[in-house]
Amino acid sequence: MQAGDDRSGFFGFVQDLGDLVITKTGPAYLWRMRNLRRVANGEVTVDPESRLGAFVATLGYERGTVGYAVNRAIGFIYLELGTYGEERIGTVFNSPEAKFHYPNPVDGNSSYMIAQMEHEYWKRVRSEDTFSGGGQLGSIFVPTVRDWLQRNPFTADFNPF
């Protein structure tokens, strides 16, 4: 199965740009904040292959676990980018291999393992479609950077959703 979505090449890139909204005070950003809360509360059913599907897969883990940190990271990315470049990232976070790591401490090896899994996914997307915004952005963040982000800012005790 192809890692990325059906939008490919230059025209797929242009379609993806329509999913990107930059302003944090505009209606689209405020809608994403509300939508994320509704998803977290179980009020909305989402596609498990989507970014929100990845968010749902990581809900409910305690602070200090990989699941908690990854959930916060996914939520942050959704708030900032919406569906732009999401491809089929939910397939990674809904996989049995990923779910194995969620209850484990974020300061252990599991954080790096998840970071590596995600980085490999984005490299694969980029290799399948060099115009993919998700592939380009996602593959920039190497596993060590992802791991650090999960262990630090995304482990902080906050709930922006």
Domain ranges in the chain?
A: 9-155
d(CA 127, CA 109): 27
Query: pLDDT tens across 85-121, in order?
Result: 999 999 999 999 999 999 999 999 999 999 999 999 9
Q: What are phi and psi of 152, to 5 degrees?
A: -110, -90
Q: What is the 3-state secondary structure (H, E, C) of 33-89?
A: HHHHHHHHCCCCCCCCCCHHHHHHHCCCCCCCEHHHHHHHHHHHHHHHHCCCCCCCC
d(CA 135, CA 125): 5
Query: pLDDT tens across 30-80, in order?
Result: 888 899 999 999 999 999 999 999 999 999 999 999 999 999 999 989 988
Q: What is the pLDDT of residue 114?
A: 98
Predicted confidence (pLDDT) at residue 124 exceeds the cutoff of 90:
yes
Q: What are phi and psi of 65, to 5 degrees?
A: -105, 160
Q: What is the pLDDT of residue 53?
A: 98
State the burial class of residue 64 (Cβ atoms within 10 Å of its Cβ: 0-12, 13-18, 19+).
middle
For the chain, the residue count is 161
